[in-house]
Chain A
Amino acid sequence: MITITCNGETRRLAGEMSVEELICSLDLNPETVVAELDGRILNRSEYAVTKLAEGATLELIRFVGGG
């Protein structure tokens, strides 16, 4: 069990998970999400290869279309 903080809320993950997997588990399209992990804005290419560690703080900013 890994505990992280995602958008200010405590979230318990069943096991090791990448940022991309977490975004997908929330039914979001990773292409439309900006991810900040422990104060650092991730490159899009990092989502799939960055694992969420115990105590991580993740901010997800999600966009919907239209303009």
Chain B
Amino acid sequence: MIFVNDRPLPWEPGMRVAELAARIKPGADVVIVNGFPALPTAVLADGDHCWLIRRGEVPSAEEMDHLLHARHTPGVHEVLKRAAVGIMGLGGLGSPLAAALARMGVGRLLLADYDVVEPSNLNRQHYFIDQIGLMKTAALKATLARINPHVVVECLEAQLTEADIPKYFAEVDVLAECFDDPATKAAALRSVLRNLPGVGYVGSSGVAGHGDSNAIRTRRLRPRVYVVGDGESAAQPGQGLMAPRVGIAAHHQANQVIRLLLGVEEER
């Protein structure tokens, strides 16, 4: 038995890479065997894992589905694929968070921001130099499509208020708060606790500077409600927002979103 693009196939002695490619994926110009590029003349051994790639080709939805199944286990993948996650604010927290969730194959992402990409964002936010001046929603949607085009991404170009958060996010499974402004962070949590009892929540507070990585924590406020950060490091003159620490917090948030979607709940 060999595995071709993660699917099992009967192995035959003397099987060569070129023959396999011609049979399974004509036009494949890159072949990876057990993690390393292989020559067309290479002979395959029983148990080999073989990837046939056409350079530049986008895998179909079915292929991507299969890949994520294999990487994340079917139990995880099926849950994430059916999930919807809202992300409020697409800055240093929201943009890497969205990228992580798209990589995980979360089925639907609802992205909210009212800002455009500025040069000063590029020290930490998941945008590119050729996206300066674009709406963050549109720029991030384009980037996510380059990561996994099969994730459904919806954009909301609005400055969210306490009153309209329940209106926009009533249907999501989990909502991530990635705002910059502390009053808006508080308003968002208040809004969700008062109006959206069924929605999981992952907020943020204290992510600036280059302090101890391990001071960034995921704290549980109540069942299905969490806040990530050290709780203290405000963005202020002399303590800016920087890619590593904001990124650590963003990925704490991403992991907690996944845990909520998978129904893991801490007893603490």
Chain A positions within 8 Å of B190 at CB level = 34, 41-44
Given the contacts A41-B193, A41-B194, A43-B194, A65 and B182 also touching, CB distance less than 8 Å: yes
Chain B positions within 8 Å of A31 at CB level = 182-183, 186
Q: Pick the contact of B180 from A36, A61, A67 — CB < 8 Å?
A: A67
Instruction: Give per-residue flags for A39-67: 1 if the beta carbon is below 8 A from chain B beta carbons, else 0.
Output: 00111100000000000000001111111
B193 touching A64 by the CB < 8 A rule?
no
The contact size tier of chain A is 10 to 19
C-alpha spacing A31/B229, complex, angstroms: 19
B208 touching A66 by the CB < 8 A rule?
yes
Q: Please name the residue on chain B nearest to A40 by beta carbon.
A: B194
Given the contacts A62-B205, A67-B93, A32 and B233 also touching, CB distance less than 8 Å: no
B92 touching A64 by the CB < 8 A rule?
no
Q: Pick the contact of B235 from A41, A43, A66 — CB < 8 Å?
A: A66
Instruction: Give per-residue flags for B159-189: 1 if the beta carbon is below 8 A from chain A beta carbons, else 0.
Output: 0001000000000000000111111011101
Given the contacts A65-B234, A67-B89, A32 and B189 also touching, CB distance less than 8 Å: no
A38 to chain B, nearest CB (A): 14
Asked if B137 lies at the interface with its beta carbon under 8 angstroms from chain A, I say no
Given the contacts A67-B91, A67-B179, A32 and B185 also touching, CB distance less than 8 Å: yes
C-alpha spacing A33/B205, complex, angstroms: 11
C-alpha spacing A62/B221, complex, angstroms: 12
How many residues on chain B are close to A (CB under 8 Å)? 36
C-alpha spacing A29/B229, complex, angstroms: 19
Asked if B232 lies at the interface with its beta carbon under 8 angstroms from chain A, I say yes
Instruction: Give per-residue flags for B46-65: 1 if the beta carbon is below 8 A from chain A beta carbons, else 0.
Output: 00000000000000000000
B95 to chain A, nearest CB (A): 10
B93 touching A34 by the CB < 8 A rule?
no
Chain B positions within 8 Å of A67 at CB level = 89, 91-94, 178-180, 185, 204, 207, 235, 241, 246
B186 touching A32 by the CB < 8 A rule?
yes
Instruction: Give per-residue flags for B181-224: 1 if the beta carbon is below 8 A from chain A beta carbons, else 0.
Output: 11101110110011000000001111110000000000001000
Interface residues in chain B, defined as those with a beta carbon under 8 Å from any beta carbon in chain A: 89, 91-94, 162, 178-183, 185-187, 189-190, 193-194, 203-208, 221, 227, 229, 231-236, 241, 246
The contact sample of 22 A-B pairs, CB cut-off 8 A, is A31-B182, A31-B183, A31-B186, A32-B183, A32-B185, A32-B186, A34-B190, A42-B190, A44-B162, A61-B189, A61-B227, A62-B205, A62-B231, A63-B205, A65-B182, A65-B208, A66-B233, A67-B89, A67-B178, A67-B179, A67-B185, A67-B246
Ranked 6 nearest A-B pairs via Cβ:
A66-B235, A64-B234, A31-B183, A32-B182, A63-B185, A63-B182
